[in-house]
Amino acid sequence: MALAHKGFFPEGIPVGFTEKSLIAFSGQERVPILIDQGTIVTESWTIACHLEDSYPDRPTLFGGSMGRNLAGFIDAWATRSVFPLLVRLVLCDVVDHLEGADADYVRTSREKQMGLTFAAMRQERDRWLDPFRQSLAPARSHLKRQLFISGEAPGYADYCLFGFFQWARMISSYPVIESSDTVGVWRSRVLELFDGFASKAPASSN
Amino acid sequence: MALAHKGFFPEGIPVGFTEKSLIAFSGQERVPILIDQGTIVTESWTIACHLEDSYPDRPTLFGGSMGRNLAGFIDAWATRSVFPLLVRLVLCDVVDHLEGADADYVRTSREKQMGLTFAAMRQERDRWLDPFRQSLAPARSHLKRQLFISGEAPGYADYCLFGFFQWARMISSYPVIESSDTVGVWRSRVLELFDGFASKAPASSN
């Protein structure tokens, strides 16, 4: 989304969970990785900062130095207060989209991380729905006043929260948010940005 | 704090809970109220925006338009996700600082709002301590990277969270945050701003 915001729609290279060798060149083991004219940049936040600093004449992601720091807080909020609850709702469905070694790797590593089998997660997930939706209270209240978290136009603060929704949308058909919810309306709005860029990704749900 | 940030240290007029007639001139019933050269501005966020717009040459509270919107989100986060838990910890102590009609008014109205007597709140408050401290996770993570929520210098996003801590500090000696907690260190840092402006307010705790 940050790339699209800057007007870039680069080629994406799918990387399986067990294909770490494909990304060894980056000196670490996780996606996303951006290769920008030979420069390798890893991790979403660092990529966003790289794009903002390298392409200052394109639409801004942060709106200045203080805006960048405040977006960093919202990134931390989405990561610490929202994502862990979303994981409870949809992570168990990710194996439906994986095969062979990838499915085994994800099941084993995630079940260990969570201290819970995917079957158990599926069984108890309904009780995490209210806490998840409550965690969105600040966004719900804020989005009653404006179209996007960042204002009348979207920015990185929107994309960091949206990214988690997009992850959920791609791996699970579990209805994490009602379309009539203020946050659900915002999610649909972000899906439509850049000629429906995000809506074209393969989805399990809408 | 927003006024001090802009270099203003105006005269404050204490208003008791039952002295609504004193503020009737503002056309509403709540504090804070700013009287700025004859202009009456109410409500913290609106006052901050008024100061930013009226005194653009003084230190910025938001760092631009997107920063203002992002600070609005953090204000919503502090109000919706942190403050309700802080209320559980310290509200019951507020009556220790009130007398007569004010004490009666606050006890009756707040006990009704909470659906709980102050005595019951005091008895159960310990179990809200962990949820409160957990609600600060985004700030804790963010403040490991920088001195203030707004960056290397403070801004309104810092003051909206700090204001709730200051309220707690003034009405209760309940230890809401450990001084070694990253958020506790930040709180001490904000108390020291503007020659220790906030630290000079009458406090129940430190």
Q: Around B204, how many Cα atoms within 13 Å sit in the side-chain half-sphere?
A: 19
Chain A contact set for B63 (CB, 8 A): 63-67, 70
CB contact under 8 A, A81 and B138: yes
Chain B contact set for A69 (CB, 8 A): 146, 148-151
Chain B contact set for A142 (CB, 8 A): 72-73, 76
CB contact under 8 A, B149 and A64: no
- Across B16-132, where does the E strand assignment appear? 33-36, 39-42
Instruction: Give this complex's ipTM.
Output: 0.94
> Which band of pLDDT confidence, cut at 50, 70 and 90, is reported for residue A203?
confident
* Residue A148 contacts residue A162 (beta carbons within 8 Å): no
Joined tokens for residue B194: 């503007």
Answer whether residue B206 shows pLDDT above 70. Answer: no
Torsional class of A190: left (φ above 0), alpha (ψ -120 to 50), beta (otherwise): alpha
d(CA B175, CA A185): 40
Q: What pLDDT digit, counting tens, does each position of B111-136 carry?
A: 999 999 999 999 999 999 999 999 99
Strand partners, A40: A35
Q: What is the pLDDT of residue A68?
A: 98
* Residue A64 contacts residue B63 (beta carbons within 8 Å): yes
Would you kindly state where each structural domain of chain B is located, as residue ranges? 2-200
Chain B contact set for A154 (CB, 8 A): none
Strands B39-42 and B33-36, sheet pairing:
antiparallel
**Measuring CA to CA, how many Å separate B143 from each of A85, B146, B186, B195?**
22, 5, 8, 22
d(CA A34, CA A42): 6
Minimum CA–CA partner of A83 in chain B? B138
* Residue B165 contacts residue B104 (beta carbons within 8 Å): no
Q: What is the pLDDT of residue B29?
A: 94
**% chain A with pLDDT above 70:** 99
B37: which residues sit within 8 A by CB, 6+ positions away?
none
For domain A2-200, is the CATH number 1.20.1050.10?
A: yes
Mean pLDDT, range B39-65, rounded to an integer:
98
Q: What pLDDT digit, counting tens, does each position of A121-171 carry?
A: 999 999 999 999 999 999 999 999 999 999 999 999 999 999 999 999 999
Chain B residues at the A interface, defined by Cβ less than 8 Å, are 60, 62-74, 76-77, 79-81, 135, 137-139, 141-142, 145-146, 148-151, 155, 157
Q: Could you tell me how many CB contacts below 8 A there are between chain A and chain B? A: 109
Longest CA–CA span in chain B (Å) reads 50
* Residue A132 contacts residue A183 (beta carbons within 8 Å): no
Chain B contact set for A67 (CB, 8 A): 63-64, 66-67, 70
Q: What pLDDT digit, counting tens, does each position of B137-153 carry?
A: 999 999 999 999 999 99
CB contact under 8 A, A142 and B72: yes
Q: What is the pLDDT of residue A204?
A: 80
Q: What is the pLDDT of residue B205?
A: 67
d(CA A3, CA A29): 21
Q: What is the pLDDT of residue A6?
A: 98
CB contact under 8 A, B66 and A150: yes
Q: What is the DSSP letter of A40?
A: E
Minimum CA–CA partner of A67 in chain B? B67
- B132 three-state secondary structure: helix
A144: which residues sit within 8 A by CB, 6+ positions away?
A182
CB contact under 8 A, A77 and B145: no
Looking at residue B143, its amino acid is L
Q: What pLDDT digit, counting tens, does each position of A121-135 carry?
A: 999 999 999 999 999
Our CA dihedral for A145, A148, A149, A152, rounded to 10 degrees, sits at -80
H or E element that contains A48? helix A44-54
Strands A33-36 and B33-36, sheet pairing:
unpaired
